[in-house]
Chains A and B, each alone.
Chain A
Amino acid sequence: MSLLQVKNLVVEFPTRRGTLRALDDISFEIAPGEILGVVGESGAGKSLTGAAIIGLLEPPGRVAGGEIVLEGQRIDNLGYEQMRHIRGRRIGAIFQDPLTSLNPLYTVGRQLVETIRTHLPVSHAEARQRAIDLLKDTGIPAAEQRIDHYPHQFSGGMRQRVVIALALAAEPKLIVADEPTTALDVSIQAQIIQLLKRLCRERGAAVMLITHDMGVIAETCDRVAVLYAGRVAEIGPVREVIHQPAHPYTGGLMASIPDMDSDRERLHQIDGAMPRLNAIPPGCAYNPRCLRVFERCLQERPELLPAGATMAACWLHDAADPHRGHAALLAQHERALAHGERAAPDAAQALPEVQP
């Protein structure tokens, strides 16, 4: 049984110029103990997904459709008090900026003990001991003294470790981590990612890792969901999504990331930009930028279809569609671009391009 199920989630923002759909029919699952990466560019809606799950959507944003089910219980329609009990106890959260995630006026120990005692029926002394153990576990030296220090007395990396300790304090089953390493130096990033992986495996906690950094995803996650304009473009095991992307956007994204192994003259670029929320085209949201667009893409919005080892929201993978065979050619074309080679000659003549 899956730990978290998100079914057809819709998040809307009513504005004076009309209602904006920031998340449009998003569905995915997280199994217990699994690490799911949610990747996408700015505006794709990945932070909003995390916020909706934790129940911290900023008004006027609201969940306008679909369900979020945690361990069999619906949590998107709970009141504030009920959600408060779930937050911390069953879902932990790690945010991007360790500076603002901790209250600067209270010691680290006080914040940890407060979280532990809110959710677990333990005495103050026992909570304090747990807090010290947690700090030790997250690699903070001299935990017995540092537990009484204030956040400003820790460095950036240390603070993020404290935040991780805080998230794990009440032993939740799911951790939502929103860009946990983006604000840190590269060398510290490696430490924090390792720490997160180890602690979650040890405690059997599942992680929803939201980031824009594909390298972190590659290293950490079991599965990954690629978001585009508030929709899921592709979802599947991490190795397959990176090396054999089935959705043209994923392919373009992978090809445009400079990587350490190859030396290319030009990076592959996807022309254009992600559409703004009030200007999403009908049909598939990616159709203005897609190299393999055809008429159906302009009219019908694709559902997630099985495409090899992953699921992709692309009509190229519809078994019944005559255009299907070209998905393979497209994937080949993208891979070739990723390695700086000239595109496979067949790919150029594959389809009559639809001129929008």
Chain B
Amino acid sequence: MNAAVMPNAEAASAAAGDAPLVVAHDLAKTFDVSAPWLNRVLERKPRTLLHAVDGVSFEIERGKTLALVGESGCGKSTVARLLVGLYEPTRGGMHFDGQDAQAAYRSSSGRQLRRRIQMIFQDPYASLNPRWLVEDIIAEPLHEHGILSGKDAMRERVGELLRSVGLSPLDMAKYPHQFSGGQRQRISIARALATAPEFLVCDEPTSALDVSVQAQVLNIMKDLQRERGLTYLFISHNLAVVRHVSDQVGVMYLGRLVERADKAELFARPRHPYTRMLLDAIPQMHAVGRARTPVQGEVPNPLNPPSGCAFHPRCPHANARCSAERPALLQLSGVRVACHAVEEGRI
């Protein structure tokens, strides 16, 4: 067989050494959401820029999972799309296995890169073309990258992929609407695995699924990671799910990374005030009747972010410096936090 053989965990880490597979440095993306030119001229409105992502840096080691959590408007989905090349960053970039990803995406070596990085989307109903057979959907990356030729070889491979996500090879002759949400999400995973990628970006893959179906899909994802040495970037707003799947967790707020730590450390000892409030705000199933301390205020309008630290209007520990100066992501005892109060030892 050719290079389509899946690398397993040992081979992967032996080959790579200790360098992280994915290194994102100062990623930023600004969208121009100004009114049309004519309106701007007539109504004398200024250009409106949306800083969806504003300087995000992280590393992911091979075979591990980094989870990005945050609420709506924090930019985590934009980060996902920057990594897979759907958007071009305004600033900064990503290095994949030592290679500059952004340059690759712009050039012809992008094709090679796209074999190694794949994405799984949130909406199981919109992520599969309703007019295509499942066989064609899963075989498309094989066609596109010329991995296999011959209808029989393709069919066999599609059958293998379906089996690896817990579906039957007979399912390839059906249309997406004949499957439930959880099964469709599994088909998406099978499609993403077709090119034997090393890195999977998962944008809220289970948010639209029922709890028991979510459990099935999460279990499959973990099994696949173990068998094939996959690296995941897992985006979610559900901290309980994140706790189950991740090795490292990054918390985002209004386009910035406010805390990044190993999972156990983050959940046991959250440093940043926003992380603490987020953890406190989750409804706990086993703590029946416990009242939570709700977070004050709401996420501000991303078009008009607060000055200095974006969280300061809602933060109980904010001082004058917080409203003036934006905190940098500093390393403190194994954890990275962007908070003046933590830096100054106030909390």
Contacts and interface: CB of A to CB of B under 8 A. Distances in A.
A and B touch in the complex (CB under 8 A): yes
Interface of A: 41-42, 155-158, 185-191, 193-194, 212-219, 238-239, 242-243, 252-254, 256-261, 263-271, 273
Given A216-B283, A269-B219, 4 more contacts: A214-B285, A215-B240, A252-B212, A267-B219
B219 A187 contact: no
B281 interface: yes
Interface in B239-270: 239-241, 243-244, 267
B291 A194 contact: yes
Q: Return the 9 tightest CB-CB contacts between A and B, nearest first.
A: A215-B283, A256-B215, A187-B295, A41-B210, A185-B71, A267-B215, A190-B294, A258-B244, A269-B215
A158 B299 CA distance: 12
B310 to A, nearest CB: 14
Nearest to A266: B219
Interface of B: 71-72, 180-183, 210-216, 218-219, 222, 237, 239-241, 243-244, 267, 277-279, 281-292, 294-295, 298-299
Nearest to B277: A187
Interface centre among B212, B292, B294, B299 (most CB of A within 10 A): B212
A42 B214 CA distance: 12
B222 A187 contact: no
Contacts of A265: 222
Contacts of A271: 216
A164 to B, nearest CB: 15
Contact of A260 (B71, B218, B240): B240
A269 B218 CA distance: 10
Contacts of A190: 281, 283, 292, 294-295
A279 to B, nearest CB: 12
B218 to A, nearest CB: 6
A266 to B, nearest CB: 5
Given A186-B282, A253-B211, A269-B216, A218 B287 contact: yes
Contacts of B180: 273
Given A219-B284, A273-B182, A41 B212 contact: yes
A239 B237 CA distance: 26
A187 B70 CA distance: 10
A300 B84 CA distance: 53
Contacts of A258: 215, 218, 240-241, 243-244
B284 A212 contact: no
A298 B104 CA distance: 59
B215 A218 contact: no
A261 B239 CA distance: 11
A187 B241 contact: no
Contacts of A216: 283
A260 B243 contact: yes
A269 B212 contact: yes
B293 to A, nearest CB: 8
A215 B240 CA distance: 10
A85 B215 CA distance: 44
A268 B286 CA distance: 16
A261 B286 contact: yes
Contacts of B214: 256
A238 B283 CA distance: 14
Contacts of A266: 219, 222
25 contacts: A186-B239, A187-B277, A187-B281, A188-B295, A189-B281, A190-B295, A193-B283, A194-B291, A194-B294, A212-B211, A213-B283, A217-B285, A218-B283, A218-B287, A219-B284, A219-B288, A242-B285, A242-B286, A256-B211, A256-B212, A259-B284, A260-B240, A260-B279, A266-B219, A268-B215
Nearest to A249: B212
B122 to A, nearest CB: 14
A185 B237 CA distance: 8
A212 B71 contact: no
Q: Pick from A156, A214, A273 the residue with the most CB of B within 10 Å.
A: A273
A215 B287 CA distance: 9
B298 A155 contact: yes
A346 to B, nearest CB: 25
Contacts of A155: 298
A215, A242, A263: which has the most chain B beta carbons within 10 Å?
A215
Nearest to B226: A265
Given A189-B281, A191-B294, A266-B219, A212 B210 contact: yes
A106 B213 CA distance: 41
Contacts of B284: 215, 218-219, 259-261
A186 B286 contact: no
Contacts of B279: 260
B289 A219 contact: yes
A215 B280 CA distance: 13
Nearest to A267: B215
Contacts of B289: 218-219, 238-239
Nearest to B283: A215
A219 B214 CA distance: 22
A160 to B, nearest CB: 11
B286 A259 contact: yes
A239 to B, nearest CB: 5
Contact of A188 (B241, B282, B298): B298
B210 A257 contact: no
Contact of B282 (A157, A158, A191, A260): A260
B285 A218 contact: yes
B282 A257 contact: no
A185 B72 contact: yes
Nearest to B292: A190
Contacts of A194: 291-292, 294
